Homo-oligomer: A and B are copies of this chain.
Amino acid sequence: MPTYTAPIRDMEFVLNEVLGVAASDVPGYGELEPGFTSAILEEAGKIASDVLTPLNASGDREGCRLENGVVYTPKGFKEAFAAMKEGGWNGLDLPEDYGGQNLPYIMGTAVGEIFVSANMAFNMYQGLTHGAISAILAHGTDDQKQTFLPKMVSLDWTGTMNLTEPHAGTDLGMIRTKAEPQKDGSYRITGQKIFISAGDHDLADNVIHLVLAKAPGGGEGTRGISLFIVPKFLVKEDGTLGERNGVSVGNIEEKMGIHGNATCVMNYDGATGYLLGELHKGMRNMFTMMNEARLGVGLQGYAVAEPAYQNAVTYARDRLQGRAVTGTENPSGPADPLIVHPDIRRNLMDQKSFLEGARAFTLWGASLIDRAHRSDDKDAEGMISLLTPVIKGFLTDKGFETAVAAQQVYGGHGYIEEQGMSQFTRDARITMIYEGANGVQALDLVGRKLAADGGKHVMAFFEMVKGFIKENDGDDALKKDFLDPLKAASKDLQAAGMFFMQNGMKNPNAALAGSYDFMHLFGHVCLGLMWARSAKAALAALAGGTGDKAFYETKLATGRYYMARQLPMTTTHLARIQSGAEPVMALAAEAF
């Protein structure tokens, strides 16, 4: 069975040396001293390795079940959930007023990576709760906050997000769930929602559903949508639980992966709901949490591949098969370990250089969210809005690829469920789909984010890259291996943006046909930037006479690999983009 060790040293490197959090001017970052953050990460790492990882494969095998309307999670989940509650992990980055610890979001993100890596399906019960809390925090009345938040922060109650209906996924304007206003100010909610992660379970006393529904008078499409709080059990005046609300689980979906999480069909039969935020502003309200939610899924994308990588490394070191082409390396054994073979290394380096770059990228993104939320910095808000579809789309596509690559190291043993490598691939697959399928992320990026605020944020991104290159241009150790490839990749990205500007006005399809490639091109430039910044930090540590030379030299070598072997993808993405709409749109629908 796969094991997992939290990559704490690498997280420390990103937080302390690349992002320099404690010295940053983001409000609240001053307390993120190395000793403090490391203690938190180590504690999270312990519960991850000892409690969550052992339940990952068993949860996958057992799955969830629905019996007489009650959802049961896999064996051991209850005890593990109690441990998470006990540790107060859910409140780490939530307000003290409701029982949280008010640490920056970046810490919640780092800890979140650890929990997702250990057990993605399990962590979703908490993750969805976190999202629902954010929505109530942003849009709830004081009364709603007092009623729901303390119990949700403590995980006595969990939360869900109810958007999708059988005929309405991406196109939420078509939802049919209706909300009828009642005399007491509440609403009667009726309709069916599908694909509801953590929709019900036996881990908490109550489940607080956030439900998109149409109330009268809102007009057609998305404008008619409002957001409602629909608790599984109604909450009495004194805060204790009252009668069961009119919401029930119709079915648990059989899925390709994340079997430990109950993905439910939820039936609302005149359930009592409470308007959350303004009437008919449900879509806008839901989307205020979108950057965080999507960053969370981007994080899942690479985090689920981290243990896959770790176990592939172990297997490559232990499994004896064949001899090194350059001469036997394990003369006393019947064969050399897999890791001597160049193509095994090529595969492992692909994985390692992606994972570390993705981690830096995601934590940088989290720092932008902190800056935006804690200091009302509109530029940070604009930048993270631009980068969010890249984080979500690129990191989940590449995370899945990484899980597949790790599985490949095992050969035939990777295909056998007993080894646990198939699960990472199956679990990773969903991250490319939910919270907006990756094609929708690409559309959001090219159709909306690029031109937002007059293109200000994408220009700021290019300026930032250019600034970094210029600032370090005299550094020979950085120049050839890092700055030059970054410059070339960034030029490709600019050329792609230029192509969209010149052609997209006349024909929007000319831009949208290249949107997916643009998302990946952008992702490579972001990871290239993170690697250049990481290399700079590593060189500084080496120049300063670090006691941990091996770590920094490995970091540099891994970065060089990314720049030499991954970044060249930008030229192919650009060529595809520049081929325009014609090849993509040539066929009539019936010609496929």
Show the binding face of A for B, using Cβ within 8 Å: 164, 167-171, 174, 194-195, 253-257, 313, 316-317, 320-322, 325-326, 334-335, 337, 339-349, 352, 400, 404, 407-408, 411-418, 422, 425-426, 429-430, 432-434, 437-439, 442-443, 447, 507-509, 512-513, 515-516, 550, 554, 557-558, 560-561, 564-565, 568-569, 571-572, 575-576, 579, 581, 583-587, 589, 591-592
Find out whether the CB atom of A321 lies under 8 angstroms from the CB atom of B586.
Answer: no
CB contact under 8 A between A512 and B417, given known A411-B433, A587-B558, A589-B337: no
Flag if B583 contacts A439 (CB, 8 Å).
no
A sample of 12 more A-B contacts (CB under 8 A), given A256-B425, A341-B443, A407-B429, is A171-B335, A174-B335, A317-B589, A337-B589, A345-B584, A347-B439, A349-B584, A412-B434, A557-B586, A560-B583, A568-B571, A571-B571
Question: Can you sample 22 A-B contacts with CB below 8 Å?
Answer: A170-B322, A171-B320, A171-B335, A174-B334, A195-B412, A253-B416, A254-B416, A325-B447, A340-B589, A341-B443, A342-B509, A343-B516, A345-B513, A346-B584, A352-B592, A404-B429, A407-B429, A412-B433, A412-B434, A561-B583, A561-B586, A564-B583
**B516 A321 Cβ-Cβ under 8 A:** no
B418 touches A585 (CB 8 A): no
Partner of A408, one of B195, B415, B432: B432
A292–B587 Cα distance when bound, in Å, is 35
Given contacts A255-B417, A592-B313, contact A343 B579 (CB under 8 A): no
Bound complex: CA A393 to CA B82 (Å): 47
Contact between A415 and B437 (Cβ–Cβ < 8 Å)? no
Given A425-B429, A564-B579, do A171 and B256 touch, yes or no (CB 8 Å)? Answer: no
Contact of A442 among B339, B343, B416, B437 (CB under 8 A): B343
Task: Tell me, in angstroms, the Cα distance from A343 to B589 when the chains sit together.
Answer: 14
Q: What is the minimal beta-carbon distance from A59 to any residue of chain B, in angstroms?
A: 16
Q: How far is the CA of A348 from the CA of B590 in the complex (A)?
A: 12
Least CB distance from A106 to B in Å reads 27
Q: Which A-B residue pairs are the 7 nearest by beta carbons?
A: A568-B575, A342-B512, A256-B422, A557-B586, A564-B579, A343-B439, A254-B417
CB-defined contacts of A576 to chain B, threshold 8 Å: 564-565, 568
Q: Closest B residue to A581 by CB, please name it.
A: B342
Q: Are B592 and A415 in contact (CB under 8 A)?
A: no
**Contact between B342 and A513, CB atoms less than 8 A apart:** yes
Please give me the residue from chain B that is nearest to A591 by CB atom.
Answer: B554
Nearest-Cβ distance from residue A120 to partner chain B, whole angstroms: 14
A206 to chain B, nearest CB (A): 26
Chain B residues in 8 Å Cβ range of A515: 342-343
- Within the complex, which residue of B320, B426, B508, B569 is in contact with A326, where a contact is CB–CB below 8 Å? B508
What residues of chain B lie closer than 8 Å to A583, measured between beta carbons? 349, 557, 560-561, 564-565
Contact of A585 among B317, B345, B413, B569 (CB under 8 A): B345
B residues less than 8 Å from A512 (CB atoms): 325, 341-343
Determine the distance from Cα of A87 to Cα of B103 in the docked complex, in whole angstroms: 70
* Known interface pairs A255-B415, A412-B169, A415-B256; A513-B174 also in contact (CB < 8 Å): no
> Is B443 a contact partner of A415 (Cβ separation < 8 A)?
no
Q: In the assembly, what is the distance between CA of A407 and CA of B429, in Å?
A: 10
B residues in contact with A422, CB < 8 Å: 255-256, 429
Partner of A579, one of B339, B400, B565: B565
In whole Å, how far is A156's beta carbon from the nearest beta carbon of chain B?
Answer: 29
Which chain B residues lie closer than 8 Å to A194 at the CB level? 412
List residues of chain B with CB within 8 A of the CB of A447. 325
The residues of B that contact A321 with a CB separation of less than 8 Å are 168-171, 174
A415 contacts which chain B residues (CB < 8 A)? 255-257, 429-430, 433-434
Contact call A344/B429, Cβ cutoff below 8 A: no
Q: A572-B572, A587-B558 in contact; A256/B345 too (CB < 8 A)?
A: no
With the chains together, A340 CA to B591 CA distance in Å?
13
Contact residue among B254, B345, B571 (Cβ-Cβ distance under 8 Å from A575): B571
* Bound-state Cα–Cα, A585 to B586, Å: 44
Nearest B residue (CB) for A519? B343
**In contact, B342 and A408 (Cβ under 8 angstroms):** no
Cβ distance A514 to chain B, nearest Cβ, rounded Å? 8
Q: Which residues of B contact A432 (CB under 8 A)?
A: 408
In the complex formed, the residue of B with least CB distance to A164 is: B412
Q: Is the CB of A254 within 8 A of B322?
A: no
Specify which chain B residues have a CB less than 8 angstroms from the CB of A442 in the assembled complex.
343
- Within 8 Å by CB of A342, from B337, B404, B584, lies B584
With A and B bound together, what is the CA distance between A433 and B347 in angstroms? 14
Among A415, A418, A429, A432, the one with the most B-chain Cβ atoms within 10 Å of its Cβ is A415
Contacts of A164 in B (CB 8 A): 412
- Give the contacting residue for A325; candidates B335, B348, B509, B575; CB below 8 A: B509
Nearest chain B CB to A305's CB is how many angstroms away?
Answer: 14
Of the candidates A253, A342, A346, the one having the most CB atoms from chain B within 10 angstroms of its own CB is: A342
Neighbouring B residues of A572 by C-beta, 8 Å: 568-569, 571-572
Are B411 and A437 interface neighbours, CB within 8 A? Answer: yes
| Distance to closest chain B CB from A414 (angstroms) | 7
Bound complex: CA of A437 vs CA of B322, how far in Å? 13
Query: In the complex, what distance in Å separates the CA atom of A555 from the CA atom of B201?
Result: 52
- Considering the chains assembled together, what is the distance between the CA atoms of A342 and B504 in angstroms? 13
Q: How far is the CA of A576 from the CA of B485 in the complex (A)?
A: 13
